[in-house]
Structure 1
Amino acid sequence: MSAVEKAAPAVTIPAIGQAYGGGFVTGITREPATGKRFLNITAGAEHELVGKWGEYGVKIEGADSFTDSLANTQAMAAAGSELAAKALALSIGGHNDWAIPARDVQELQYRHFKPTTEENWESSRNGDNPHSEPVGQLYSAEDPLQTVHVAFQEGGPEAFRDTWYWSSSQRSAYYAFSMHFDDGYQFNYAKSYELRVRPVRSELID
């Protein structure tokens, strides 16, 4: 270890579920292009939004990232998405950089805050998250289990609803990725559908 490394202060990362940064710590993702790590923070349930992702049949440039929630949401808003504009307008706990979660950020929301005791949906690439730390593996029927964070358990004040939530990751001109928070099914819905959103923000770790 070099003298510089010895002198560098250790970075203390708050625990999953801890109240922090205007919301609750959700997990870490790594940007594929730069390798930079980000701490993702989920807003409380009172800040959930509902709306259409965007216009069906319109492809939005810059809304395809699986990790960069803010860049996706900014691109959506620039293209006229009312839902994205509402997310960007949020101010929670003194923070104004809220966004619709990118696909692999949303996966962390389910992995760590799964509200129900239902079995997980074992199909497709549900749970496969190459950008999370640690890397997410395919869900089994019993993994992940219901969250240990009581406030996020079904019926709790912060619990996700038993329904579909939008991610900000575009699949095509017609569809965007979404996730069902009963069983972890990751799918894509027509952009014209009205689904829920649980906003997130991210902080650079290193």
Structure 2
Amino acid sequence: MSAIVKALPVTPISAIGKAYGGGFVTGVTVENGQRYLNITAGAAHELKGAWGARGVIIEGAGSFTDSRSNTESMAAAGSELAQKVLALEIDGHTDWAIPARDVQELQYRHLKPTSEENYCWGRDGDNPNSLPIGLLYTAELPAQTMLPAFQDDGAEAFSSSWYWSSTQRSANYAFTMDFDDGYQFYDDKDNELRVRPVRRELIID
């Protein structure tokens, strides 16, 4: 992984949505004391498919932050969707992955396509692994993104539908998110949902 240029601030809120590293800046997560800049692929690289087989626990697919490790574990267990994501090459970058649960939350928080009220239940929006730490959603926050390209019908907008994360919930389920209203839940692994790939880069001071 290449280091982020020092010109990017620790929390690059002003850079959210800017083209970088084969996609668009999404936000920062923290893992084992290290900070990572997460980058979301453009809409042209969305995929759709089943997460994997029901009834099977996949070792190594439980991280809330390490999208790549989760996706590699899924692919090794036979997930065609994960294999397709790992095969992506965008602007010379080949380290794409299905976003882990807390990486996916950043996609919604910063790139929310709709003006719908947020679904406020359970842990929706709570993200202890982001920088700054994500708080529980309210009906109004996060608001629709100010970035025209990611708003409804924009060229890079998320669909107002469910997306897979790469974070496994159990033998039968994996975590999902509804990009219409931010509802964070889980679904049967053999259902076909959308995926918006991500990659990350280590931030070095």
Normalized against structure 1, the TM-score is what?
0.93
Q: Name the CA distance, whole Å, in 2 between partners of 1:148 and 1:131.
A: 24
Q: For residues 43-62 of structure 1, what are the structure 2 equivalents within 5 Å?
A: 43-62=41-60
Q: Name the CA distance, whole Å, in 2 between partners of 1:12 and 1:175.
A: 40
**Percent sequence identity over aligned pairs:** 69
One-letter identity of the residue aligned with 1:132:
S
Q: Report Cα offsets for 1:58-86 as digits up to 9, x if no partner.
A: 11000000000000000000000000000
Q: For residues 80-119 of structure 1, what are the structure 2 equivalents within 5 Å?
A: 80-119=78-117
1:63: which partner in 2? 61
Normalized against structure 2, the TM-score is what?
0.94
1:191: which partner in 2? 189
Q: Report Cα offsets for 1:111-164 as digits up to 9, x if no partner.
A: 000000000001010000000000000000000000011100001000000100
- Structure 2 unaligned blocks of 5 or more: none
Secondary structure in 1 aligned to 2:103? helix
One-letter identity of the residue aligned with 1:65:
S
Q: Name the CA distance, whole Å, in 2 between partners of 1:197 and 1:132.
A: 20
Q: Name the CA distance, whole Å, in 2 between partners of 1:93 and 1:22.
A: 5
One-letter identity of the residue aligned with 2:17:
G
One-letter identity of the residue aligned with 1:19:
A
RMSD: 0.8
- Residue in structure 2 matching 1:139, options 130, 137, 140: 137
Q: Which runs of 4+ in 1 moved over 2 A?
A: none
**Aligned pairs, how many?**
195
One-letter identity of the residue aligned with 2:106:
L
Q: CA deviation at 1:99?
A: 0.3
Q: CA deviation at 1:57?
A: 0.4
Q: CA deviation at 1:12?
A: 2.0
Q: Name the CA distance, whole Å, in 1 between partners of 2:91 and 2:132.
A: 28
Secondary structure in 2 aligned to 1:70? helix
Q: For residues 1-206 of structure 1, what are the structure 2 equivalents within 5 Å?
A: 11-13=6-8, 15-31=15-31, 34-206=32-204
One-letter identity of the residue aligned with 2:41:
A
Q: Name the CA distance, whole Å, in 1 between partners of 2:178 and 2:24.
A: 20
Secondary structure in 2 aligned to 1:46? helix
